[in-house]
Amino acid sequence: MIMAGGTGGHIFPALAVADVLRDRNIPVVWLGSNDSMEERLIPSSGIEFVGLSVKGLRGKGLPALLVAPFKLVWAVIQAAVAIIKRRPRAVLGLGGFASGPGGLAAVLLRKPLYVQEQNAIPGLTNRMLARYSRCVMEGFPGSFKHSRKPVLHTGNPVRETIENLPPPLVRMVDRTGPIRLFVMGGSLGAKRLNEVVPEALAMLDEVFRPEVRHQTGELHIQATQDDYRKVNVKADVVAFIDDMADVYGWADLVIARAGALTIAELAQAGLASILAPYPHAVDDHQTVNARVLVERDAAILIPDNELTATRLKAELVKLLVGRKHLLDMAEAARSLARPKAAEQVARVCLGEINCSGAAA
């Protein structure tokens, strides 16, 4: 049983693990929240979905806080019923609202519990569940350095199509023409990025302007298309991209936020990047995520309060003069990749390897 949801950063790594299990004909049940992204995505992937009546509390008013304990108890009961009916071999939590009650139900029913944390700073739910987990798996080394439970650095699971991309040198060595820029607004869109990038590109001399593909999220596509049109910059603007491996294989440079999944995919694909961490992420974990690439000279970090068209243009000028520096950054990113992370997470949950990574 997999517990994950809330954002793509939890859902897509969990899907990568689910794919490994299903390729081995192991049934997967997904525990998530009702009226959520996972409820929309998971059934269409052919995975049985069980929804819990649980929501996030951050930013909610006093009435919501007062009824929260009762809703939590009800969600734990729902999760316990799902576990009793389906009798999973193991329960894996990757974060999200449903992981808390689902993990608690697993502990109460004495089911083997495992945790995989994507971010450099663990989320509250995974910090809580880690105390009861047989193995804590971390996407970034040192996330659980104070844990009393066994910890294994697996890296973050990414889609197999991204893992199968050729290395940067093979993809990029013979490229000519304009630099290829991919702007990733994220699955829910990053409004500030969507607004600043067209303005920054318009400030560049036309001879240095890159070829642009820009993913905006559904909410911002019309406004972003209008922004590019107003400044007379050509760009292929889309709401969503289904085949991320294709666009990563095409790109020379990526501008993005710094969610854990983005960092893992940039490393696995081997791509230079300009990262602007989301400033309201819990514990500012996106800045900590980004530093993993920045400290290896694989990325440039622009704090959100410095994310202006002028600053972005200045960073782009340094990178768009030629491909050699971009290739060096791409290879530095690739050196941080943790291939087969999804397979390793799955094998730990199946008891095939232990929390030191050795055969069980």
Reference 279, options 290, 270, 271; nearest CA is: 290
Q: Is residue 180 located within the same domain as residue 309?
A: yes
Same-domain check for residues 189 and 263: yes
Residue 358 lies inside a defined structural domain of this protein: no
What type of residue sits at position 243? D
Among candidates 262, 259, 228, which has minimal Cα distance to 247? 262
pLDDT at 62: 58
Q: For residue 55, give the 3-state DSSP assignment.
A: coil
Query: What pLDDT, in 10s, does the model give residues 18-43?
Result: 999 999 999 999 999 998 899 999 99
114: which 2 tokens?
Answer: 């495992």
| 131-138 own/partner pairs: CB under 8 Å, 24+ apart | 132/103, 132/107, 133/93, 134/355, 135/348, 135/354, 135/355, 136/355, 137/344, 137/345, 137/348
175-203: pLDDT as tens digits: 999 999 999 986 555 788 999 999 999 99
**Residue type present at position 3:** M
Q: Which residue has the higher pLDDT, 63 or 266?
A: 266
Backbone angles phi, psi at 140, to 5 degrees: -120, 135
The pLDDT of residue 219 is 86
Residue, of 219 and 267, whose pLDDT is higher = 267
The pair phi, psi for residue 350, each rounded to 5°, is -85, -5
Model confidence over 202-213: pLDDT tens digits? 999 998 899 999
Q: What is the mean pLDDT of residues 246-254?
A: 98
Give alpha helix (H) positions in 42-98: 62-86
* pLDDT grade for 63, boundaries at 50, 70 and 90: low
Q: Which phi-psi region, left, alpha or beta, contains residue 150 (left: φ > 0; alpha: ψ -120 to 50)? A: beta
In tens, the pLDDT along 313-330 reads 999 999 998 899 999 999
Range of the domain at 54: 2-156+340-350
Domain co-membership, 168 together with 317 = yes
Q: Provide the domain count of the chain.
A: 2
Is this prediction's pTM over 0.85?
yes
Q: Which amino acid is at 121?
A: I
* C-alpha R_g of the chain: 21
CATH code, domain with 91: 3.40.50.2000
At 41 the pLDDT is 92
Verify that 220 and 89 share a domain, yes or no. no
Position 357 in a domain: no
Average pLDDT in the 164-172 region? 96
Asked whether residue 242 is domain-assigned, the answer is yes
In a domain, 359, yes or no: no
Q: Which residue has the tokens 């602007």?
A: 276
151, 293: one domain? no
